[in-house]
């Protein structure tokens, strides 16, 4: 019962503590029963190994007993959860260590302020400054621990233990590492605190130090050997402490505090931080650049297709069966030259129409041999397909009507037959028929299925009557006047052909095939989208590797800062606080890495666009996505190390070397 005025602060009953060392069991405490009243000043003495520190850690809630009961202010604490213990440590107890345990990268003032991060009290520096003044360090507030003497460091540690106004100070050999002058100073401070009503429990092995307490307990082999009162307790100042609130949810301002701390520790390890950022930076950078490159490639393809004109239709015969008898494919729906003329004259939306035949041809020049595609076309072809030769010329209408044996060759054919030699005016043989080369087609590249430069274009009439022996055409390339008219024109063409060739309704579906450029564009931009998705996926893998790099660094950092984690827990940090601290660090690393990566990706895409000649474009979407992705990487890969840190038991972490 925590009744106001109840003077018993601590009540231990048959406390034992055993450590397991391999198969051995060490009994450090063998049954300690003890009552400590409010306002007392107790010294615990005894030879080394007698269990003094073990007892102090249990009293300070840094460790839990193996068996027995511990009541603090009338409340059983041996069964409390770790977080509840953290809160009690934070609000009730100030612990002072022999080794001071200050955080080396922080100034004296920041060290004193640190517990406020976990108690959510306003961290105005006023209180910390007045405490530092109280321990006589007004002139040293901005100094780091390595710029302070041992005595000064211990005074900073005492100020830190007082910041949350604890009702009890636990000190384990507080003067053990100090010279005699500092020793006197520290004892004066402790006595002064006790005079103000704070209960002090102090472990020491020095007789003259222990003699200064009001009560002296001697231990030997894990048991209390003697317990004597040296001075009366004085007036205990009792207040009900159980009313103090325990939990506080993490709020936005805490996040800021964690981020600030995270930035600080990261700044202290610049090289390491830089290296782990590099992974994320390269990952995000390549995602952004690859997405930009993909978009650029897509736009380039679309522009190329648009230059061909999106108003083009390609009409081919389909295959039908008439009267249930299997016909040779396309027999009844073969297209004749006059079909084209009729389409052009009867359908007003048609701008131009170009018949063509195709076939394979064996081409020879000197001793070179090449098999390629032969296209017989009309002169309209050159304009419609933007195929005006850059070298030489296209054939004329006259040459077409006299079935002249002239050929315009694609660049692949040029390379295979002529190498570096000029082909213009040379005679080649196509299927043993002599042709004169009059021009070279502009390079078209591959459309993904076939090499569009592996072709020879010759006059339509020459192809039909001299080379391929066809009296019909294979296809009509039809140019519609404007894009909007395409669906109507398409239907009109089909209707005209159905009635002209008397195709029964049941067969109309397969009689002809009309493809428009919009369909083809759609198919091609689809394949380029797939391509850029693939590139982005590969880049995303490097982002993943970057994330693993962060995890690695954070794990190292957790191991390296085990002692720091122990100290933070000792002064009241809950699991959640430690978790947040480490998460904040990995998120800061990945977010900064991500932002730099976006920058790098932007620069890289500019360079890529300069190299490829494509107008690469960094989309806002890809920036947002990769930024969020990198923040998420930081969270996900930070969770494991952060959890590992948060799980550490305070006293084990403090003992870690
Ligand atoms: P003191 O502070 O009086 O010198 P300790 O409380 O540190 O004594 O130790 C009491 C006994 O418990 C010693 O025998 C010591 O070896 C043992 N001990 C203390 N801590 C551990 C530990 N973490 N693991 C195993 N044995 C321990
Ligand atoms: Mg000890």
Q: pLDDT tens digits, residue range 230-267?
A: 988 874 433 333 333 334 445 566 677 778 877 887 88
Distance CA 454, CA 224 (A): 100
pLDDT at 47 over 50: yes
Mean pLDDT of 306-331: 62
Predicted confidence at residue 310, as pLDDT, reads 61
User: Of ligand 1's atoms, which has the minimum distance to the CA of residue 651?
Assistant: 23
Mean pLDDT of 194-201: 92
Share of the chain above pLDDT 70, in %: 91
Distance CA 580, CA 281 (A): 23
Q: Is residue 474 a contact partner of residue 468, using CB atoms and an 8 Å limit?
A: no
pLDDT at 328 over 60: no
Greatest distance between any 2 Cα atoms in the chain:
132
User: Which of the pair, 299 or 176, is modelled with greater confidence?
Assistant: 176
Predicted confidence at residue 1, as pLDDT, reads 41
In terms of Cβ atoms closer than 10 Å to its own Cβ (0-12, 13-18, 19+), residue 79 is: exposed
For residue 31, report the distance from its CA to the centre of ligand 2, in Å. Answer: 18
Mean pLDDT of 188-212: 92
Residue nearest (by alpha carbon) to ligand 1 atom 20 = 54
Task: Decide whether any atom of ligand 1 lies within 6 Å of the 51 Cβ.
Answer: yes
Q: What is the pTM of this model?
A: 0.66
* pLDDT tier for residue 648 given thresholds of 50, 70 and 90: confident
Q: For 361-418, how does the pLDDT look when each residue is reduced to its tens digit (9 = 90+)?
A: 999 999 899 999 999 999 998 888 888 898 999 999 999 999 999 999 999 999 999 9
* pLDDT tier for residue 322 given thresholds of 50, 70 and 90: very low
Task: Decide whether any atom of ligand 1 lies within 6 Å of the 204 Cβ.
Answer: no
Q: Is residue 411 a contact partner of residue 440, using CB atoms and an 8 Å limit?
A: yes
Where does residue 448 fall: left (phi above 0), alpha (psi -120 to 50 degrees), or beta otherwise?
A: left
* pLDDT tier for residue 320 given thresholds of 50, 70 and 90: low
For residue 53, report the distance from its CA to the centre of ligand 2, in Å. Answer: 4
Predicted confidence at residue 326, as pLDDT, reads 45
Predicted confidence at residue 473, as pLDDT, reads 92
- CA torsion through residues 126, 654, 76, 15, sign: negative
Q: How many CB atoms lie within 10 A of CB 154?
A: 29
Pocket residue to mutate for ligand 1, from 20, 54, 225, 656, most atoms within 8 A of Cβ = 54
Task: Decide whether any atom of ligand 1 lies within 6 Å of the 52 Cβ.
Answer: yes
Smallest Cα–Cα separation from 569: which of 114, 176, 218, 18? 114
Q: For 470-492, how does the pLDDT look when each residue is reduced to its tens digit (9 = 90+)?
A: 889 999 999 888 877 888 888 89
Residue nearest (by alpha carbon) to ligand 1 atom 2 = 53
Task: Decide whether any atom of ligand 1 lies within 6 Å of the 50 Cβ.
Answer: yes
User: Of ligand 1's atoms, which has the minimum distance to the CA of residue 51?
Assistant: 6
Under DSSP, is residue 285 helix (H, G, I), strand (E, B) or coil?
Answer: helix
Mean pLDDT of 490-512: 85
Task: Decide whether any atom of ligand 1 lies within 6 Å of the 24 Cβ.
Answer: no
Distances (CA, A) of 312 to 196, 498, 515, 520, 556: 96, 21, 9, 10, 64
User: Which of the pair, 621 or 455, is modelled with greater confidence?
Assistant: 455
Predicted confidence at residue 23, as pLDDT, reads 87
Distance CA 145, CA 444 (A): 73
Distance CA 70, CA 2 (A): 14
* pLDDT tier for residue 203 given thresholds of 50, 70 and 90: very high
Mean pLDDT of 334-362: 90
121-130, 418-427, 474-483: the lowest-pLDDT one: 121-130
Predicted confidence at residue 512, as pLDDT, reads 87
């Amino acid at each position: 019962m925590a009744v106001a005025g109840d003077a018993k602060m601590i009540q231990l009953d048959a406390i034992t503590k055993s450590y397991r060392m391999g198969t051995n069991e060490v009994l450090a405490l063998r049954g300690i029963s003890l009552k400590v009243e409010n306002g007392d000043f107790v010294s615990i003495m005894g030879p080394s190994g007698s269990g003094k520190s073990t007892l102090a850690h249990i009293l300070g809630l840094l460790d839990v007993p193996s068996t027995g009961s511990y009541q603090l202010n009338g409340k059983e604490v041996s069964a409390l959860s770790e977080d509840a213990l953290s809160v009690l440590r934070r609000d009730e107890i100030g612990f002072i260590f022999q080794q001071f345990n200050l955080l080396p990268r922080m100034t004296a003032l920041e060290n004193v302020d640190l517990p406020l991060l976990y108690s959510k009290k306003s961290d105005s520096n006023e209180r910390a400054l007045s405490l530092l003044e109280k321990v006589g360090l007004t002139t040293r507030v901005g100094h780091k621990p390595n710029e302070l003497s041992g005595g000064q460091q211990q005074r900073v540690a005492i100020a830190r233990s007082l910041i949350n106004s604890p009702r009890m100070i636990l000190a384990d050999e507080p003067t053990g590492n100090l010279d005699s002058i500092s020793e006197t100073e520290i004892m004066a401070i402790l006595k002064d605190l006790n005079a103000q009503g704070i209960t002090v429990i102090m472990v020491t092995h020095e007789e003259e130090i222990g003699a200064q307490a009001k009560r002296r307990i001697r231990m030997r082999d894990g048991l209390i050997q003697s317990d004597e009162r040296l001075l009366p307790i004085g007036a205990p100042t009792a207040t009900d402490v159980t009313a103090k609130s325990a939990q506080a949810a993490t709020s936005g301002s805490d996040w800021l505090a964690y981020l600030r701390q995270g930035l600080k520790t990261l700044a202290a390890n610049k090289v390491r931080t830089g290296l782990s950022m590099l992974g994320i930076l390269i990952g995000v950078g390549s995602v952004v650049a690859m997405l930009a490159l993909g978009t650029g490639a897509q736009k380039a393809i679309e522009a190329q297709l648009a230059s061909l004109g999106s108003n083009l239709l390609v009409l081919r015969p389909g295959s039908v069966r008439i009267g249930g008898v299997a016909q040779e494919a396309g027999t009844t729906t073969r297209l004749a030259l006059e079909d084209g003329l009729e389409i052009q004259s009867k359908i007003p939306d048609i701008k131009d129409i170009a018949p063509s035949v195709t076939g394979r041809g064996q081409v020879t020049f000197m001793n070179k041999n090449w098999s390629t595609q032969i296209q017989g076309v009309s002169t309209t072809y050159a304009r419609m397909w933007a195929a005006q030769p850059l070298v030489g010329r296209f054939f004329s209408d006259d040459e077409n009507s006299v079935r002249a044996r002239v050929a315009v060759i694609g660049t692949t054919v040029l390379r295979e037959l002529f190498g570096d030699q000029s082909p213009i005016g040379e005679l080649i043989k196509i299927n043993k028929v002599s042709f004169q080369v009059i021009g070279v087609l502009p390079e078209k590249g591959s459309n993904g299925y076939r090499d569009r430069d592996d072709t020879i274009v010759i006059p339509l009439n020459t192809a039909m009557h001299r080379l391929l022996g066809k009296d019909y055409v294979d296809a009509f390339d039809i140019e519609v006047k404007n894009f909007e008219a395409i669906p109507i024109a398409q239907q009109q063409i089909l209707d005209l052909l159905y009635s002209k060739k008397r195709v029964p309704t049941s067969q109309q579906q397969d009689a002809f095939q009309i493809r428009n450029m919009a369909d083809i564009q759609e198919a091609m931009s689809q394949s380029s989208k797939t391509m850029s998705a693939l590139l982005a996926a590969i880049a995303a893998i490097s982002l993943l590797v970057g994330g693993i790099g962060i995890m690695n660094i954070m794990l190292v950092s957790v191991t390296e800062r085990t002692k720091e984690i122990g100290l933070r827990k000792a002064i009241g940090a809950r699991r959640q606080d430690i978790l947040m601290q480490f998460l904040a660090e990995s998120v800061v690393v990945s977010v900064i890495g991500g932002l730099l990566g976006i920058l790098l990706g932007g620069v890289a895409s500019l360079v890529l666009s300069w190299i490829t000649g494509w107008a690469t474009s960094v989309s806002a979407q890809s920036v947002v996505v990769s930024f969020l992705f990198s923040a998420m990487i930081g969270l996900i890969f930070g969770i494991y190390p952060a959890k590992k840190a948060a799980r550490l038991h305070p006293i084990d972490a403090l003992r870690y070397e």
